[in-house]
Structure 1
């Protein structure tokens, strides 16, 4: 058996990533020098740490359940162990002794019952005790029967209504639809992005372009072996921007050709967005900075070094003004050409995970590990609304494509928030109230998306389920 600290650290690092603890994963990765190990993450399957822990737990359960001669106690294993029980020093001996005592009592009781039955055999009718035993047994089963709770079941999607896109060799972190054509982009831990053609005249799931993220080493291109965790299409659907943990942003054509490599960040890129005009790309990185890039030349137009900790998310207000948030609990609004923020919002008491401008660009929503959702206006310093209803961290938010400034101006504007408390909440921002709480998920919710008309909301969770909700 061979176990190295690098291998253990890598599995812990991957577990943190897969569980949504991206900030903790980054910090742990830096302190444990994950990037300097020679482990190819693309070859390590998802949930590897959980899998090996489960196997270890099964081994301990086998130890508890097996006699010294290799046979099972009473021909069957005893009750399952919890993970904490399994790591307690005396758990095997304690459980084995308890089971031996129980088994001895059962054997003694069985022997006494057999002796009593033998002494009464002459005076009792043949089969009478057996008949009573059967009757009592049936009665016990009937009393122990429990009706199933009435719960809405999962809707099974017919195979002809689903397309499974296979090709990635590691976790898929993000996907985005092309705004013009039936193309879907995806980013993965296998250091690739892929563009899938889902038009009706394409072969189901077979048409894909692989965008390999490489770095220069020794005068040649080699795979970066870093996660692709952010991507965004320009408004015309002709170019795709990707951000990677290798510290580079890249621009690709929709045909899969690399157009530009943007390299000024000093570490992983957490977010990037095209502006509406399509001439600038905005990126946020662990190096505490945000950068506006010229999409045509691939050059950095301006770097904004205003955060005191990693920048986690960005969103354009206009074609040259944007907001950024950070683990430093601050939100900055910056403008191209200005050497300091034009507005700074403070009020969160923990990391700010995501920010989104409403369709008109007047209100900015932010969500945080402090379990609050806040609404800000450029007209004032304090938040317009401090929305407190979630009881765990809020991971992401999304405005509905409704109300003024959208294609659905007559429908009410809503804001959706997804939380580690397993719920999604819908908010009426004008009134500052929660109008719906969606509670079907069993694990943290990591993503939400509205349909183009705003009537439906999709949510995705760590419980392996996607739910479609009617927002009306």
Structure 2
């Protein structure tokens, strides 16, 4: 069924008459030749145009609420505003409905909205065992196995399903025998494979190692001539990328335990690296450059030689791979596109070095970019618009690390004094806080956001906070 232009014109003409706009109705009727349309006014009910518009709105609202198969309403029926229906197409309305449903669900399930802000002592587990400072932490993607990397030459895998509040439970110790004549093998980084079956570590003896989830050494990967600075799995989990102080990056075949590719385009130490997808990655260096490499090409696809005017501290791809974020001691955050020679945005606001950038992605697919700096602030940006949408400033000292919860509802930050804060974007403030003994080196949420682990600059126990526990 469709309306002809004559029928639409007649409905508008009748609406103007019914609304009392007699002169406007006369002019419109004359210009649109309403008298020649052949439509009998007696057959058209009063308020016909308004009725048509209302029914159209209801149809659009219903269509936006349907599930992917179009067979039923998706969850609770969500009413839309007339303005949304007027200015958005059906796909945009579906996104609006999903966002509204998620917001309503988050409000109902936000276990951190209620309860004490300060995390109770009884809600904190202490995992003791390392003989030196713990540098890095990572949660297994599909279980509550927490891996830690320490300067004592070991990684440890803690089973938090079995670990009680006293910190006791099953622990696997992954020992690192120094390679290549090195005096020691102090760990610098650690990361689980996406399927949770392998754990990768990097160390000061220039070697990368792969362990099983039971702590059994599977491979020792040698190819760098400098301390390992970063290890990153691709999304598929078949390739491992490592970056080192010698300026090289190596792509390893995890199954074969062998080198696949090597890149040496940086003039100084690699600081950070991140996969865009299964075959493309980005890296940054102390030389101020950022490069994007594709495995099929021996040379970088894009190489920004002077990406920042000072040391780069961190870079991360937005989950869709559309945007790349970097931060630097020059006080800026920059947003890059792989196809452009210049940054899309240079985000200013921090005073002094920016120490980290991290992306979070909500269930609707919307991405948020967070940054932290030595000025004690934490900022959340609209990366596409290039605007700061939240500024959190409750830290009194430099913020060293930030981490999103997997659903991007919460953002955790840790500072040089050992203060840990959990922020809620919906609430716009702090919902949990904890005082650790010294500078927080790393912090991570587990898969369901109920546990938050942190490690510090002293040889103290790892702290694991139960965020749901009220006392």
Partner of residue 119, structure 2: 157
CA distance in structure 1 between the aligned counterparts of 2:254 and 2:376, rounded to whole angstroms: 38
CA distance in structure 1 between the aligned counterparts of 2:150 and 2:343, rounded to whole angstroms: 36
Task: Tell me the SS of whatever aligns to 1:214.
Answer: coil
**How far does residue 216 in structure 1 lie from its aligned partner after superposition?**
5.0
**How far does residue 224 in structure 1 lie from its aligned partner after superposition?**
5.3
CA distance in structure 2 between the aligned counterparts of 1:276 and 1:299, rounded to whole angstroms: 19
Partner of residue 348, structure 1: 308
Partner of residue 214, structure 2: 255
CA distance in structure 1 between the aligned counterparts of 2:198 and 2:259, rounded to whole angstroms: 18
Partner of residue 336, structure 2: 376
**8 Å CA contact retained: 1:408, 1:453:** no
Task: Tell me the SS of whatever aligns to 1:160.
Answer: helix
Query: Does residue 241 of structure 1 match 2:203?
Result: no
* Large movers: runs of 4+ above 4 Å: 200-204
Partner of residue 173, structure 1: 135
Q: How does 1:231-310 map to 2 (within 5 A)?
A: 231-310=190-269
CA distance in structure 2 between the aligned counterparts of 1:325 and 1:341, rounded to whole angstroms: 12
**8 Å CA contact retained: 2:179, 2:185:** no
Partner of residue 390, structure 2: 436
**How far does residue 447 in structure 1 lie from its aligned partner after superposition?**
1.2
Unaligned runs of 5+ in 2: 1-115, 427-471
Which string of whole-angstrom CA distances, capped at 9 and with x for unpartnered residues, describes residues 378-429 of structure 1?
1211000000111111111100122xxxx332xx421110111111111111
2:295 to 314, 336, 356: 336
CA distance in structure 2 between the aligned counterparts of 1:199 and 1:323, rounded to whole angstroms: 35
Q: Higher RCO, 1 or 2 (CA under 8 Å, sep at least 6)?
A: 2
Between Structure 1 and Structure 2, how many residues are aligned? 309
- Provide the alpha-carbon RMSD of the alignment: 1.8
CA distance in structure 1 between the aligned counterparts of 2:221 and 2:318, rounded to whole angstroms: 29
Partner of residue 424, structure 1: 378
**How far does residue 156 in structure 1 lie from its aligned partner after superposition?**
3.9
CA distance in structure 2 between the aligned counterparts of 1:224 and 1:298, rounded to whole angstroms: 24
**8 Å CA contact retained: 1:196, 1:205:** no
1:451 to 402, 405, 418: 405
Deviates more, 1:262-271 or 1:443-452: 443-452
**8 Å CA contact retained: 1:415, 1:429:** yes
Task: Tell me the SS of whatever aligns to 2:293.
Answer: strand
Which string of whole-angstrom CA distances, capped at 9 and with x for unpartnered residues, describes residues 266-311 of structure 1?
0101001011111100000011111100101211111100001111
Query: Does residue 358 of structure 1 match 2:312?
Result: no
**8 Å CA contact retained: 2:361, 2:367:** yes
**How far does residue 450 in structure 1 lie from its aligned partner after superposition?**
1.0
TM, length-normalised to structure 1: 0.63
Which string of whole-angstrom CA distances, capped at 9 and with x for unpartnered residues, describes residues 26-73 of structure 1?
xxxxxxxxxxxxxxxxxxxxxxxxxxxxxxxxxxxxxxxxxxxxxxxx
Task: Tell me the SS of whatever aligns to 1:318.
Answer: coil
* More strand by percentage: 2
2:367 to 413, 424, 434: 413
Aligned CA distance change for structure 1 residues 201 and 309 (closer, same or farther; 3 Å) = closer
**8 Å CA contact retained: 1:198, 1:204:** no
* More helix by percentage: 1
Deviates more, 1:350-359 or 1:225-234: 225-234
